[in-house]
A and B are shown apart, each in its own frame.
Chain A
Amino acid sequence: MSLARRIIPCLDTDGSRVVKGVQFIHLRDAGDPAELAARYNREGADELVVLDIAASRDHRPTFLETIRRVAAELAIPLSAGGGIGTLEEGQAILRAGADKVTVNTAAIRRPALLTELSEEFGAQAVVLAIDARRDGASWRAYVRGGHEATDLDAVAWAHEGVERGAGEILLTSMDRDGTRKGFDCELTAAVSQTVTVPVIASGGADTPQDFLDVFERGKADAALAASIFHDNLQGFGALKRFLAQRGVPMRVSA
């Protein structure tokens, strides 16, 4: 018996439609979230992440409706977030049908948010998303969708976030995001070996070998990707069989 490593497709949305871009810019439409969710659920995804990258208050009701539509298609877990700043906003995400709420910018501005969410819903429902960019010998955490640098070291922030109540880290390499040059295994390993909770690696996925690398060298517990799944460049069955054959514990059957 061993815990399977997870393969997680991510739907970046503008609230209602899936969008994609390179390094957080140049967005274009990539489909209906509920349709993609149904397909990934059927094809063997282990979990789904849905993010509202516009994250404007005006669009929040639209995003909550998107979560409801997506959750209705799933028999696998769902994480959702984007611009979540308060306990009430987190609760709305979970009430709409998500199993976990992801928080990013607001947790850096006010780290107590992690504790509030964790005490109310349990650590298993709180995902701390960190956007990290290399800065010399370490990595710096960014906020506001990657637009604004902070003073925080990404690895140290991950550690603090877990102390404050996060039950999982969603770690995005801004250097790799959208580039298809493979995950940042060094960053992922640095965080994974520092924190006591699961780490989802994100940014840069292209080939099955990239996933093998991030599980083996990056010590990731899960790996997340978007466009390679949206564009059918990778299928879950073949990808998981590739990994299972190389000794990575995988849930191969749906």
Chain B
Amino acid sequence: MKIALVEYGAGNLPSVERALARLGADSFRAPTPEALADADAIILPGVGHFGALMRQLGERGMIEPLRERITRGVPFLGICLGLQALFCASDEAPDDRGLGIYPGRVSALPATAKLPHMGWNTLERPVPSRLLEGVPDDAYFYFANSFAALPGATGLADAEAALCDHGGRFVAVVENGTICGTQFHPEKSGQAGARLLENFLRLAQTYAGQSGRSHGAAQ
């Protein structure tokens, strides 16, 4: 299975590469639309600023190709900013548009708690989740965010597979068929994070080759 890590000049690519390598999975860096053509699954690892991410993706001509593959059913995992990119827009950069897979926007977390929301937190899991299969209910994941999608932002009842709370509740895991995202960093979240990535690889394997790629199925 060919796993593309979208490279856009910033981000935490090496950490994600290492986390995948520990699971025995190969990944390659995709800095151009052409590099995405071969991918059986796509991971968008993000850190930094929403506006910077979207502008970088725009300059690389990656926005349409990403949107096309995500909607076509190529398994996708957005990490942190990579999850936020699935929405239409963000309070962090009101002039920049997101990928717009979901109608809602990303909001600033309320300043009633310390920001950034930095450290390990637990999840509330309202619906069953394949990404969280085998992960204990009381497991902690590592977050580093000041912005997040609020509950309801996907517009889908079942897609918000986990929520977190820091001054207010927000979406921690999106899981909608092949479209996945985590507001936390699984690559920094110890064993719980490794399990989540392993679950994503399994999910991707299930779908690999079913997404209408013209040049044949995955290995």
Q: How far is the CA of A117 from the CA of B96 in the complex (A)?
A: 21
Interface residues of A in 223-254 (CB under 8 A from B): 251, 253-254
Contacts between chains A and B (CB distance < 8 A), count: 100
Tell me which residues across on chain B come within 8 A of A80, comparing CB atoms. Answer: none
Per the bound structure, the CA–CA distance linking A2 and B185 in Å amounts to 17
Assembled-state Cα–Cα distance A138/B104 (Å): 47
- A41 CA / B120 CA spacing, docked (Å): 14
A214 at the interface (CB under 8 A from B): no
Given contacts A3-B120, A124-B116, contact A75 B194 (CB under 8 A): yes
Give the CA-CA distance A71 to B164 in the complex, in Å. 27
* Complex: A108 Cα to B136 Cα, angstroms: 44
Task: Check: B49 CB closer than 8 A to any chain A CB.
Answer: yes
Report B108 CB to chain A, min CB distance, Å. 12
Whether the Cβ atoms of B47 and A124 lie closer than 8 Å is yes
Q: Is the CB of A71 within 8 A of B165?
A: no
Interface residues of A, count at CB 8 A: 34
In the assembled complex, which residues on chain A have CB atoms less than 8 Å from the CB atom of B19?
Answer: 75
Q: Is the CB of B12 within 8 A of A99?
A: yes
Q: Give Cα A183–Cα B118 distance, bound, in whole angstroms.
A: 22
Q: Which residues of B contact A196 (CB under 8 A)?
A: 111, 114-115
A22 proximal to B (CB < 8 A): no
Contact of B205 with A by CB under 8 A: no
Binds A, one of B71-79, B141-149, B210-218: B141-149
List 12 additional A-B contacts (Cβ < 8 Å) besides A76-B188, A196-B114.
A6-B119, A46-B120, A47-B119, A120-B48, A121-B10, A122-B48, A123-B116, A123-B146, A168-B118, A221-B118, A251-B140, A253-B140
8 contacts between A and B (CB under 8 A): A1-B122, A2-B165, A75-B19, A122-B47, A122-B48, A197-B115, A253-B136, A253-B139
